[in-house]
Amino acid sequence: MSMHAFALPTGTATAYLMMGFLLLATAAAQIAFKHYHHATRRSSLFIALVLFASCPPFTVLAARQLGIGKVYVLMSLSYALVAFMAMKLFDERISRKQLQGLALITVGCILYAL
C-alpha cells in the first residue's frame, strides 16, 4: 500500500470546506464557552477546549491552499456567526448598529475572497 492512500485531499474546494469547519468549530467553541460561564457545566468547557484545539491544524492546511491572508480575513465571518448563534441560543439582542457592522464584515470578506 502506498503512502499516497493516506494523503489529505488538497485543492481549493477542500480548503474552503476546511474554512467552513473552522468557522463552525470556532463559533461553536465560543458558544460552548459562554454556556460554561452561564451553567458552569464542565462538559461545555471540555467541548469548547476540544473545538478550539481542533482548529490550528485545519488553519494550517487551509492556509497552504488559500494563503494566510485570505484564511484570516475569512475567519472574521465567525463574528457574525457567533452573534447570530448567541441571538438564537441565549436570546441576546443585536442592535441595528451591530447588525450593520456584521453586514459590513460579511460583505468585506466576500469581496476579499473574490
Q: How far apart are CA 50 and CA 59, in angstroms?
A: 15
Per-residue confidence at 23, pLDDT binned at 50, 70, 90? Answer: very high
Q: How far apart are CA 108 and CA 11, in angstroms?
A: 24
Q: How far apart are CA 5 and CA 86, in angstroms?
A: 41
- Asked if residue 96 lies in contact with residue 81, where contact means CB atoms within 8 angstroms, the answer is no
DSSP 11: S
Q: If residue 49 lies in a helix (H) or strand (E), which one and from where to where?
A: helix 42-66
Per-residue confidence at 1, pLDDT binned at 50, 70, 90? Answer: very low
Question: What is the pTM (predicted TM-score) of this model?
Answer: 0.80
Residue-wise DSSP of 58-104: HHHHHHHHH-HHHHHHHTTHHHHHHHHHHHHHH-----HHHHHHHHH
DSSP 10: -
From the list 19, 2, 1, the residue with the least C-alpha distance to 11 is 19
- pLDDT surpasses 80 at 79: yes
Per-residue confidence at 14, pLDDT binned at 50, 70, 90? Answer: confident
Query: Which is higher by pLDDT, 114 or 20?
Result: 20
